[in-house]
Amino acid sequence: MRGEELRKFDTEEFGNSISIGRSSSCEVCLKGSAENNVSREHIVLKKTMGNWTLVSKGHSGVYKNAEKVSSVPIEDGDVFRFSQLFLCIGSKCGPSPYDVTWDADTEDGNRRAVLWPGTNTIGASHDNYVMVRTQDVSRFHGRIILEPNGIIYFENIYHSVFSAVNGNQVGKERVEVQPGDSILLGETEVFITKGIRVSQDAAVRSIVKKPPSRAELMAKSPLAKLVIAVFIILVLTLLFNFFATIYQILLG
**pLDDT at residue 197, rounded to an integer:** 66
User: Could you give the CA distance from residue 75 to residue 212 in angstroms, rounded to a whole number?
Assistant: 27
Is pLDDT at 213 greater than 70 in this prediction? no
C-alpha distances out from residue 233 to 74, 109, 114, Å: 54, 64, 62
**Which of the four pLDDT bands, split at 50, 70 and 90, describes residue 198?**
low
Is pLDDT at 222 greater than 50 in this prediction? yes
CA diameter of the chain: 110
pTM given for the model: 0.72
Q: Could you give the percent of the chain with pLDDT greater than 70?
A: 87
User: Could you give the CA distance from residue 166 to residue 180 in angstroms, rounded to a whole number?
Assistant: 10
Mean pLDDT of the chain: 85
- Which of residues 6 and 69 earns the better pLDDT score? 69
User: Could you give the CA distance from residue 132 to residue 148 in angstroms, rounded to a whole number?
Assistant: 25
- Which of residues 222 and 83 earns the better pLDDT score? 83
b/e sequence 19-48, b meaning 16+ C-beta within 10 Å: bbbbeeebbbbbeebbeeebbbebbbbeee
Average pLDDT over residues 234-246: 81
Q: Poorest-confidence range of 59-73, 112-126, 190-204, 218-232? A: 190-204
Q: Is residue 60 exposed (0-12), middle (13-18) or buried (19+ Cβ within 10 Å)? A: middle
Residue 213 CB: number of other CB atoms within 10 A? 9
**pLDDT at residue 214, rounded to an integer:** 53
**pLDDT at residue 192, rounded to an integer:** 96
Q: How, if at all, do strands 79-82 and 85-88 pair?
A: antiparallel
Is pLDDT at 205 greater than 50 in this prediction? no
**Neighbouring C-alpha atoms within 13 Å toward the C-beta of 152:** 22
Is pLDDT at 231 greater than 70 in this prediction? yes
- Which of residues 40 and 7 earns the better pLDDT score? 40
Q: Poorest-confidence range of 20-29, 189-198, 205-214? A: 205-214
Q: Poorest-confidence range of 4-8, 207-211, 227-231? A: 207-211
Is pLDDT at 44 greater than 60 in this prediction? yes
Is pLDDT at 199 greater than 80 in this prediction? no
C-alpha distances out from residue 210 to 9, 34, 109, 240, Å: 10, 20, 36, 42
CA proximity to 137, closest of 190, 85, 178: 190
